[in-house]
Amino acid sequence: MSVYTPPQEPLLYIHVDAHLIVIDKPAGLLSVPGRGEDKADCAVSRVEADYPGALTVHRLDMATSGLLILARSKEIQAALSRMFELGQIEKEYHAHVWGQPDPPGGLIDLPLITDWPNRPRQKVDHEIGKPSRTRYETVETGASGTRLRLKPLTGRSHQLRVHLAEIGHPILGDELYAHPEAHAAAPRLLLHASALGFDHPYSGDRFDITLPCSF
């Protein structure tokens, strides 16, 4: 297990109001504390230092960068969590993957379950796996692979990473699911949470937030 060395640059706040906060979580930073004092530094603890009482709503993998929502009260936390469960928060990701998917767009529908002997890995299981669906669309192709726009229709752990690896196009830099060449092709996991769309749980105003990726 590699030593946890989170990036030290200040958090970028994308939106802050009296009810919720949206940040740009950098790759390499845990969303919530891990096990042990050495993993206490995380997105929620950093936000809480600036905005006491900030609460977790959802998570991004440590290696994934991009938009992360936090709540400023238990009522808003519950409302946002329910919106995620009901699919009322639209999510979009960008990823750079190995090869060129054929067809260049479509739906990946593969049920997932925790691979218990190999946690935190997940795996496809057609018998007892939970329904998991991802839409993908090619944005750009090049010599180093393909940039995809991804829309998860369900929210399973590692869903995008497993789905893309299963169709033969793992995300570059993925230490868990990519084959050695794809893992070595990038210094980090090239997966970024690039857009969120939802109705504000307090005001009802429509929020469409985008955050371009740097890779």
Query: For the chain, which domains are there?
Result: 93-191 (3.30.2350.10)
Give the predicted TM-score (pTM) of the model.
Answer: 0.96
Give pLDDT, residue 80. Answer: 98
Bridge partners, 191 (sequence order): 95
Residue positions annotated with a catalytic role? 61
Contact by Cβ (8 Å): 151, 135? yes
DSSP 145-158: EEEEEEEESS--TT
Query: What three-state secondary structure class fits 51?
Result: coil
CA 25 and chain centroid, separation = 10
Which residues, given as ranges, of the chain have pLDDT below 70? 1
Give pLDDT, residue 214. Answer: 84
* Per-residue pLDDT tens over the stretch 185-213: 999 999 999 999 999 999 999 999 999 99
Q: What is the DSSP letter of 104?
A: S
Contact by Cβ (8 Å): 174, 46? no
Give pLDDT, residue 158. Answer: 98
Contact by Cβ (8 Å): 106, 136? yes
Contact by Cβ (8 Å): 30, 39? yes
Q: Strand 191-199 relative to strand 105-109: parallel, antiparallel, unpaired?
A: unpaired
Residue from 46, 36, 43 nearest 1 by CA: 36
Which pair of structure tokens corresponds to residue 67? 């938009």
Residue from 29, 60, 55, 28 nearest 44 by CA: 55
Contact by Cβ (8 Å): 160, 191? yes
Calpha distance 161→94 (Å, rounded): 12
Contact by Cβ (8 Å): 149, 94? yes
Q: How many CB atoms lie within 10 A of CB 155?
A: 14
